[in-house]
């Protein structure tokens, strides 16, 4: 399966080099449209600490300025910087890491422009193509990009090229970036050897795409825990609890998985909202997402790591 699902947003977009060929004309194939985020985020009961950072969030559009890629896997309702800021203000987030989504291909301007307007509060994760020059990478680095993403999901890009993956990873390692990875549910064990061999730190999205219905003894979840403890390059994002949930709102059946990951390596976990929650089955409210934090928080974590 590994060879069949490699690629996605970060390495299979060579036809869409940064800033150039993301087409605004209507594509000829049918593209599904995802739901918009909840427009009324609640003020969470749990108060985030000062300088709280949302480490996984996206901005979509506006398409008039940041056109969606012609080969995008889905259409997204616009979720522009102004809405992004309003949600963060409501829930108490002051800093963030913006992950460029597949809808924008390898045009990373939607991220770097937001970083430029943040006064130092934002950093970003880019989508890359193998044909980007060293100058392109250094320009992204100067613009606040600190990593690149590979989505190993068929629905987000299909088959990729492992040679391109390897070249990109080694190039970004040389400039001090990390690698952000997103896997199909149940496949972490298949990729463990690949991840351990990476020359750079890596961050696994959405708790490894765990499935709460399979329980804490699920072999894929155990493989993630083993990777987390055995490889100090491994970081895990405590995001996507709504994606993992089998029971729906308030998604608390996902909390034991988050807690286990936090207890397992409290200094190498990251929290994020995943706003505006692309491709979820049930749209969460971001205030409610924040209120899951105290349920999952490790009793072993230090005050510094909680911040």
Q: Report residue 213: phi and psi, to 5°.
A: -60, -20
Query: Does a cis peptide bond (omega within 30 degrees of 0) precede residue 87?
Result: no
Which of 38, 136, 180, 274 does the annotation list as catalytic?
274
Contact 207, 243 (CB under 8 A): no
In the chain, the N- to C-terminal Cα span, in Å, equals: 38
134 is catalytic: no
Beta strands in the chain (DSSP E): 53-57, 95-99, 122-126, 145-152, 178-183, 202-204, 234-238, 269-271
| Spatial distance between the Cα atoms of 57 and 96, rounded to a whole number of angstroms | 7
At 263, list the tokens. 């207890």
Best CA proximity match to 147, nearest among 93, 104, 205, 189: 205
Give 84's Cβ-side CA count (13 Å radius): 29
Question: Any residues with CB less than 8 A from the CB of 209 and at least 6 apart, and which?
Answer: 182, 183, 184, 185, 186, 187, 240, 243, 244
Residues involved in catalysis = 274
């Amino acid at each position: 399966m590994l060879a069949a699902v490699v690629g996605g947003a970060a390495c299979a977009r060579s036809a869409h080099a940064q800033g150039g060929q993301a087409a605004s004309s209507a594509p000829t194939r049918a593209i599904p449209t995802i739901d918009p985020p909840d427009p009324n985020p609640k003020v969470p009961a749990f108060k985030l600490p000062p300088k709280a950072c949302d480490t996984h969030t996206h901005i979509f559009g506006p398409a008039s300025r940041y056109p969606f890629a012609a080969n995008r896997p889905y259409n997204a309702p616009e979720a522009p910087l102004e809405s992004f800021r309003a949600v963060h203000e409501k829930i108490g987030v002051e800093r963030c890491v913006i992950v460029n989504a597949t809808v924008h291909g390898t045009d990373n301007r939607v991220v770097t422009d937001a970083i430029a307007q943040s006064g130092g509060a934002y950093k970003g994760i880019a989508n890359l193509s193998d044909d980007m020059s060293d100058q392109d990478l250094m320009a992204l680095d100067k613009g606040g990009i600190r990593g690149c993403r590979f989505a190993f999901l068929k629905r987000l890009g299909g088959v990729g090229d492992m040679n391109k993956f390897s070249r990109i990873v080694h190039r970004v390692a040389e400039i001090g970036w990390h690698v952000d990875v997103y896997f199909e549910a149940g496949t972490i064990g298949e990729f463990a050897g690949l991840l351990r061999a990476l020359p750079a730190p890596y961050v696994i999205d959405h708790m490894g795409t765990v499935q709460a219905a399979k329980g804490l003894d699920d072999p894929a979840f155990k493989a993630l825990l083993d990777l987390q403890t055995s490889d100090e390059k491994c970081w895990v994002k405590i995001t996507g609890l709504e994606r993992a949930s089998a029971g729906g709102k308030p998604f608390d059946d996902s909390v034991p998985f988050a807690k286990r990951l936090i207890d397992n390596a409290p200094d190498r976990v990251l929290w994020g909202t995943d706003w505006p929650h692309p491709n979820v089955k049930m749209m969460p409210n971001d205030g409610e997402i924040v209120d899951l934090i105290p349920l999952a928080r490790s009793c072993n974590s230090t005050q510094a790591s909680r911040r």
